[in-house]
Amino acid sequence: MDSRPSSRRTSSPGRHRLGKYEGLEEIGRPPGGATLYSAADPATGRAVTLACVALSAFAGRDADLDRFRRDARVASRLIHPAILRIHASGEHGGTAFLACDPAAGRTLAQLLAEQAPLAAGEAVAITAAILEAVDHAHRAGLVHGLIAPEAVWIGEDRTVRVGWFGLAALAAPRATVGDDLKAVGGLLDRMLAGRSLTVELTGILAQATAPRPEDRFASAAAFRSALLDAGPSPPAGPKTRRRLPVLLPGAALALLVAAGLLILDRRPAPPSPPAAAVVEPRPASAPPGPQPAELQSPAAESPPPSPPAPVQPAEAPAAVPVPPPLPARPSPEAVRNALRDVTCALPTVGEHDGRLLIGGTAAGEAARRAVQDLTARLAGGWPYGIEIATAPAELCDPLTVAAAPLAANAALDRPLALRLVTEAGPLRADESLVLEVETPPGRPLHLQVDYFTADGTVVHLLPNPSETGSLTEPAATRRLGERSAGGRFWTIGPPFGQELLLVLASPAPLSVGGRPEAEPASAYLAALRRALRESGSVEGGHVLAAARFIATAP
C-alpha cells in the first residue's frame, strides 16, 4: 500500500530488483514462460521466491491475462500445510509476479532421479498429500494446471509442499480439474514404475489416468480416499492431529468448567466441505454433548466413525455430568456471541428465510475450521449456510493482541465502529483507501488506526506524519484518507489479498513509542502488547477495539 502519491519506479528483474523485492537471482523456469527468482523483502527480512512473467507475454491473449490475474488473486489466498504459501501477488513495471515461501528440501524429480521406484507406502503418502493440496485449491475455484515432479518439494522430514499454483494461464490456460487429477495419477505411476502392485492400486492408477475425463475420479478428495483405503499404510511420521481450544461464553462456558477446556479434535482425514455449504439441522436422535460435528453437504458422504481409542484405567478422568442439549434454535445473537470466542476470526451471523447465514473472514485455516465446527455445535435446529474467507494466518496476531479490547467493545450498546467508505467488492490497485471511525458516546478517546498488509507489514494510518492529533470527541465520526481533506491519504498497492484494519480507542494515547509510518508488524505488536498491559493499570482506563478484514486485488 502506498502511503502518499508518488511516481512508481519501473524496475525489472533484470536489474535485480522488482518493486520492494531485492537481490533477485534466477533459480528456475517453470513451463509457460515464467521465471523463478530468489529474492528478499528488506522491510521484513523475509526470503521469498518470485514467479515472474512479463505482461507482454500475454499480447493478443486478453482472456489468458484475465485468467492469470484472477488465478493469482485466488492463489494468494490459499493457506494449507501442503501448499507453498503465496504471500503476495501484483504487477510492477510491466512484470506480473507471485511471491511465495522458498521451497525447502528436494523436488520430487530429484527424489525420483535418486531413488526410483519409491516404496509403495511412501508413494501413497506423497500422492495423498499432493491430492490434499489440489483438493484445497479446487474448492477455492483454482486449477493447478502444471502438476509435475518439479512442482512438488519433499522436506527432510518427508513433508510435502506443492508449488506453482496460479501459473496455469501461462502454459495450460484451458486446464481443468480432471487434468489435474490425471496429472497426479501420472506422478503416482512414475513413483511406482517397476514395482509389483496390488490389484487395488492397479485399478486406482487405471482410473486416475483414464483417457476420458468421465472415467476418472470425480474429485481429488475421492481419489485420495480411494488411495488411502486401497493402498498400503503410509510410513510412520509426525502426527498431524491438532487440538484447537474453543471457549464458549455465558451459560455454555459455565457448563464446561468442570470438564476444563473444550477441545475440538481436528482430524485431517475427512475432506472439508466446499467453502459455501448448506447444512441442514442435525436429527433429533443425534447424541447430546460437545462431540465433534461434521458439516454435511448434499453431495458428500460421511465416512464411518472411527472406533474410540481405549482409555487406560489409570488415566480415566473423573466423571463429568453431560450438559443438557442447547435450545432447538438458539437466537442468531447467541450464535454470534459464541463465534466471537474464535479469536482469529471476524464472523458475521444473519438470518434469511428461516436459515442462519454465517459469513466473515478467518485468519488461517485452523480458525476457519473452528468457526465451522463451533457453528455445527451451536446452530441447534437451524438449517444454515456458511462461507468463511481465509486470510493469512499471520493476521491472527493483531487480533490476538487486541482480543480483550475487541471483547470490551462488542459488549457496548453503541460500540466503536469502523467502516470503509467504498464497500463494493475488493479494493483495486491505485484505488484510494478511505475509512470512517465512529466513537461511542461518553468521553473523548484517542484513536490508533493500523493497516496490516498480507506480507507482514503494518502501516500506521493515525497518528501519521500529517495528522498527529488522535483525540476524537464522543459519538463523533472521523474520516481518514480523503484526498480533498488535505491530510494523509493512501492508495492500494501490492501485495494483494486479505488484509486487516484495526482501530484502538483509549482514554490516553497508547505508549507504543515513536513508530515509523510503516514497519514489520511483529515489532509493532510487541510494543502494542506492552502498551495495552500498561493501560490496564490507568485509573478509569478502558481500551476498545474494532477490526475488519478487507480484500485487495490488482
* Highest mean pLDDT out of 14-18, 235-239, 468-472: 468-472
Judged against a pLDDT cut of 90, whether residue 399 lies above it is answered with: yes
pLDDT tens by residue, 99-147: 898 988 899 999 999 988 999 999 999 999 999 999 999 988 899 999 9
Give the mean model confidence (pLDDT) for residues 462-476.
88
C-alpha cell at 167: 501459473
Residue 324: the pLDDT is 44
Judged against a pLDDT cut of 70, whether residue 159 lies above it is answered with: yes
C-alpha cell at 495: 501485495
Judged against a pLDDT cut of 90, whether residue 293 lies above it is answered with: no
- Select the more confidently predicted residue: 206 or 33: 206
Residue with cell 483509549: 506
User: Residue 453's closest CA among 543, 522, 406?
Assistant: 522
Segment among 20-34, 227-241, 255-269, 317-331 with least mean pLDDT: 255-269
Round to whole Å and give the CA distance between 248 and 338. 6
Helix (H, G, I), strand (E, B) or coil at 416: coil
SS3 content of the chain, % helix, strand, coil (to 5): 30, 25, 45
Residue 328: the pLDDT is 62
Average pLDDT, the chain: 78
Round to whole Å and give the CA distance between 78 and 520. 22
Judged against a pLDDT cut of 70, whether residue 279 lies above it is answered with: no
CB 153 within 8 A of CB 84: yes
pLDDT tier for residue 1 given thresholds of 50, 70 and 90 = low
C-alpha cell at 532: 495495552
Percent residues over pLDDT 90 in the chain: 35
User: Residue 123's closest CA among 146, 145, 149, 144?
Assistant: 149
Round to whole Å and give the CA distance between 146 and 31. 8
Judged against a pLDDT cut of 50, whether residue 153 lies above it is answered with: yes
Judged against a pLDDT cut of 80, whether residue 261 lies above it is answered with: no
pLDDT tens by residue, 478-522: 999 887 666 778 888 777 889 999 999 999 999 888 888 888 898
Residue 160: the pLDDT is 95
Give the mean model confidence (pLDDT) for residues 213-232.
86
Judged against a pLDDT cut of 80, whether residue 465 lies above it is answered with: no
Residue 536: the pLDDT is 64
pLDDT tens by residue, 6-49: 323 333 455 578 888 888 999 988 888 889 999 998 877 889 99
Residue 283: the pLDDT is 39
Round to whole Å and give the CA distance between 213 and 306. 33
Round to whole Å and give the CA distance between 391 and 175. 26
Judged against a pLDDT cut of 60, whether residue 366 lies above it is answered with: yes
